[in-house]
Structure 1
Amino acid sequence: MKTITAVSSLLKRSLQVQVPLRKIIKSYSTGFITREFEEVQFSVPWGHVAGKWYGPKDKRPIVGLHGWQDNAGTFDTLAPLLPSDVGFLAIDLPGHGLSSWLPEGCTYHSIDYIKILFSLMRDLKWEKISLICHSMSAVNGFVFNSYFPDKCDMFVALDIVQPILSKNEITVNFAIKQFEELNKQMAISMQKTVPPSYEIEELVERLHNSTGKSISKECCKFILKRNIKPSSSSPSKYILSRDGRLKSMIFSVFSHDELVVMAKRIKCPHLFIRNNKAKHYDSELELKEIMNALKLNPSFEEHIVDGTHHLHLTEPHKIADILNPFINKYRPE
């Protein structure tokens, strides 16, 4: 309860007085160091993509991409541990965090986020991109690198190594479930109903439990500060500010043979870090074939670490100890 109360106080102060949370964390957070950053925005046809830029602005940074229904805050504890001479840009994918939602009537599809990478590269005039990706974004990073192997010069995948494997009836049933959720969210949007509001303490509990306790209660603040806003109908409560349609997102699926071909096409330095409790494939033989295909890349590395799915957020030093030598090797000045 003490942890929730402390997080509640921190979030309320940040949201009510509109003070950037990075200025408050220095005084209130314990166990994590901080690093100055700048809030940035990049234009897209339907609005903007928001992000947090750490470190040097005069050179191309590493781009951090978060998991499903998370946001750029997922890297708040890891970013300060990365090499200080290399910039780091953590972005909110469309519908998440402080980025614009897709227009009404549109459906979120995970593979569409690959277009954001090209928009970013065009906007900043980059020929290549460096990626640190968690969960859903690690899947998209796999697809991006297999489709466009010359566009990325460094790819780090956190806790997921490949897209969803097509499993016939299971895949069909999942798609049906997502379309049912989409219809539900569209009905809510059409009715213009007031979204439910919550106390901060309840939001912390909901996030903690919805991730299978993968995100500790102390670390919930790093996600929530970009995912909620004060309720207009209940001044003391808060609503979720991310797009509800994300619940119905459609995810790309591939056959096992397709994934093997795709894995063989990834050529850039590729680091895969996963927790020791993760279950990535129904068949160990199928997973072994994917890993063998990835290992044809001489600069592929795999590391298994004790922790949860959000290990990079809750215990960032475990990731940084592996990640920084990789960055220093493949992203030197």
Structure 2
Amino acid sequence: MELILDIEGFKINAKTWGDKRGRPLLAIHGWLDNANTFDKIAPLLPEDIYMVAIDLAGHGFSDHRSLNGCYYLWDYALDILNIANILKWKSFSILAHSMGTGIATIIASAMPELIDKLIFIDGLGAPFVINEEDVVSNFRKSVKQFKMAKKSKLFGFSSVNTSQFKTKEEAIHDRMKSNISSISYEASACLVERSLNQTPYGYRWRYDPRITLPECYKMTETQAQLFIEKISCHILIILGKEGLFANGMFNERLKRFKKANMHWVKGGHHLHLEETHKETSTLINQFLQTEF
């Protein structure tokens, strides 16, 4: 079921599964994805779970931020807190993928009383970090790239009537090629269905092009680990054997989780949308039904 959440005039779209009276579970997708990323897992969740999978701001069917608005993890975290308030949830669990785990980490560490359990799928907190000595140069570089993108109309900074693809098929294959990890045609098609706008001559990406550019200010690795260390609830971490962390990226972070239950499963970054979704769902169900 589709749901529209109004944050003082700013619209966040979502998909829901289950009975509203069930245990609340908020699902947060990754960078350039949308709520459809949980389509395979949602129907397999326990019957007593009420899941709300949102389109983050600037993604899917949700509104884009104003010209002065930003897409930092902190901004997304504030959106989540507002959504929980609208839904009147005093506490809830979070299911997060990729960048979504960075948002979830901020909320769970800063507002521990709100979060019952965390479930991370191929994500270990803030995805885009920077060395402290590069903070100044990164700001300058980011501003330059934004100006260049607008001037050259790259990354989707073109008229809303300008087509990027003639057919959906082209968009699906483009999504497969541009993904940070291998993704199947079926999984790509699922995500693309909620990521396209139709134009007079074809299709273009629906997401805000600003989210494709480097952020002016990124979290440092030290900061990312500090947030992880402050998490007090139990966490299920599911990583793909062919995913982002297969080669040891952010390996040091694994030592910072206090109550983590970690599993490596077959699959890439979007393992929850591929054949492995059944095994992934089983692990999630067992975790959600466990009393700690």
Normalised by the size of structure 1, how large is the TM-score? 0.77
Instruction: Report the CA distance between 1:213 and its aligned residue.
Output: 5.4
Matches within 5 A, 1:15-164: 38-163=1-126, 164=128
Q: Cα 1:83–1:195, aligned 2, differ >3 Å: closer, same or farther? A: same
Q: Is it true that 1:277 corresponds to 2:242 in the alignment?
A: yes
Structure with more of its chain in strand, by fraction: 2
Instruction: Report the CA distance between 1:111 and its aligned residue.
Output: 2.2
Aligned to 2:282: 321
Aligned to 2:270: 310
Q: Cα 1:154–1:124, aligned 2, differ >3 Å: closer, same or farther? A: same
Q: Cα 1:282–1:230, aligned 2, differ >3 Å: closer, same or farther? A: closer
Aligned to 2:169: 201
Native 8 Å contact 1:98 1:226 kept in 2: yes
Native 8 Å contact 1:185 1:245 kept in 2: no
SS at match of 1:218: helix
1:254 corresponds to which of 202, 217, 220:
220
Aligned to 1:30: none
Normalised by the size of structure 2, how large is the TM-score? 0.87
Native 8 Å contact 1:55 1:85 kept in 2: yes
User: Structure 1: which amino acid aligns with 2:13?
Assistant: A
Native 8 Å contact 1:181 1:247 kept in 2: no
Native 8 Å contact 1:60 1:126 kept in 2: no
Q: Cα 1:326–1:60, aligned 2, differ >3 Å: closer, same or farther? A: closer
SS at match of 2:48: coil
Unaligned 5+ segments in structure 1 are 1-37
SS at match of 2:211: helix
Instruction: Report the CA distance between 1:127 and its aligned residue.
Output: 1.3
Structure with more of its chain in helix, by fraction: 1
User: Structure 2: which amino acid aligns with 1:254?
Assistant: T
What are the superposed Cα offsets for residues 256-299 of structure 1, whole Å, 9 maximum, x if unpaired? 3x444332211112111111234549978x734x32331x33xx
Structure-2 separation of matches of 1:180 and 1:208 = 28
Structure-1 separation of matches of 2:261 and 2:53 = 23
SS at match of 2:5: strand
For this pair of structures, how many residues does the alignment match? 285
Identity rate of aligned residues, in percent? 25
Native 8 Å contact 1:108 1:249 kept in 2: no
Instruction: Report the CA distance between 1:192 and its aligned residue.
Output: 4.4
Unaligned 5+ segments in structure 2 are none
Instruction: Report the CA distance between 1:238 and its aligned residue.
Output: 1.4
Native 8 Å contact 2:122 2:269 kept in 1: yes
Superposed CA RMSD in Å reads: 2.7
Mark the structure with the bigger radius of gyration.
1
Q: Cα 1:214–1:326, aligned 2, differ >3 Å: closer, same or farther? A: same
Native 8 Å contact 1:269 1:330 kept in 2: no
Structure-1 separation of matches of 2:164 and 2:87 = 38
